[in-house]
Amino acid sequence: MKIKQLMTGVMIIAGVSLLLGKTSAQPLTSKTQTMETNSVHYQNIKANGLNIFYREAGPKDAPTVLLLHGYPTSSHMFRNLIPILSKQYHVIAPDLPGFGYSDAPAHDQFAYTFDNLANTMEAFIDELGLKRFAIYIFDYGAPTGLRLAVANPEKITGIISQNGNAYEEGLSTGWNPIQKYWQNPTQENRDALRGFVENTVTRFQYFEGVSDPSLIAPETYTLDQHFLDRPGNAEIQLDLMYDYRTNVALYPKFQAYFRQYQPKLLAVWGNKDPYFLPAGAEAYKRDNKNAIVKFYNTGHFALETNVKEIGQDILTFLAGLPK
């Protein structure tokens, strides 16, 4: 009797184990696949002769979103947005030359102009084989990305502009010292801008206009300042500040692109940005009937304080784009 009971118990345990094995195998595989899809991959690729670092996440067969950062940051600024978007979209966020973990050759060895940043990003999208994508443009990423759009209108499914300016009325008086350098590019006027690459101004860009400073992660401005403090990097940034004048000169061309192609566009704007005013966001609607403008009660780096809200608005916008 005991032997019979023991055998029955063994058979029950074996059956349960077999049943558990069958039922748990599929969910485990599914979970693994989900984790891999939603993971952020940190990669490098050669473009325009430079090593370009980029973050990539999401299913590669999904519609692509190209995230272009601004000054003085890197793709690190998208660390909280990428997980929101990558559940449904293929997300790519490169570091521009001279920023983050991408190559930063000396300013006398590489022309730090916005034309050359755009040329490098053109080579980058070609190397990755990107045929159709939406672009997220912010700060320096705006004139870089809009150059891409003008040169490749057939590739652009939509534009998200987060404090990415394309209109003169969007420039605040904070640009006055830089404009003085544009008008009279003396060494004295160049040296007067060196404070822009120092810690005080870096922190100012993150905190100005923010109602709750405790939302600003300290690693943001700390990492940005680390890269700004690299030997020779100040000259790189001063070259780009001088070349920014070419972006303003191109504003009419960017605006003509909006009028001709009417790309679906979402402007998500921190309304207390000390450098790019809300008027620059509103101006998009003047040339593009497909422009949607949304303001958030925050400053320049709006993703630091409003990423969940902005992320949801972007997902709603992306859902309406052509594939």
pLDDT tens digits along 254-312: 999 999 999 999 999 999 999 999 999 999 999 999 999 999 999 999 999 999 999 99
Residue 59: closest CA among 91, 93, 27: 91
Tell me, yes or no, if the pTM score tops 0.75.
yes
User: 225 pLDDT exceeds 50?
Assistant: yes
Residue 136's Cβ-count burial label (10 Å; 0-12, 13-18, 19+) is buried
Confidence of residue 22 (pLDDT cuts 50, 70, 90): very low
CATH class of this structure's domain 41-319: alpha beta
List the beta bridge partners of residue 137.
68, 161
Q: Judge whether residue 242 has pLDDT over 70.
A: yes
- When comparing pLDDT for 20 and 301, which is higher? 301
What are the pLDDT digits (tens) for 162-206? 999 999 999 999 999 999 999 999 999 999 999 999 999 999 999
300 is catalytic: yes
pLDDT at residue 23, rounded to an integer = 37
- Mean pLDDT across 242-248: 98
What percentage of the chain carries pLDDT values higher than 90? 88
Report, as an integer, the average pLDDT of 220-231. 98
pLDDT band (50, 70, 90) for residue 215: very high
The whole-number pLDDT of residue 182 equals 98
Q: Is the pLDDT of residue 133 over 80?
A: yes
Q: Where are the domains of the chain?
A: 1-38, 41-319
Q: How open is the CA angle 256-298-95, to the nearest 5 degrees? A: 60
What is the CB-side half-sphere exposure of residue 124 using CA atoms within 13 A?
A: 28
Cα 31 from chain centre: 28
Average pLDDT over all residues of the chain: 91
Q: Residue 56: which pLDDT band, with cuts at 50, 70 and 90?
A: very high
Distance separating alpha carbons of residues 163 and 91, to the nearest angstrom: 20
Task: Please report the pLDDT score of residue 30 as a whole number.
Answer: 38
* pLDDT value at 1 more than 80: no
CA dist., res. 260 & res. 2, Å (int): 87
Torsion angle of alpha carbons 230, 234, 236, 239, nearest 10°? 180
Beta bridge partners of 269: 295
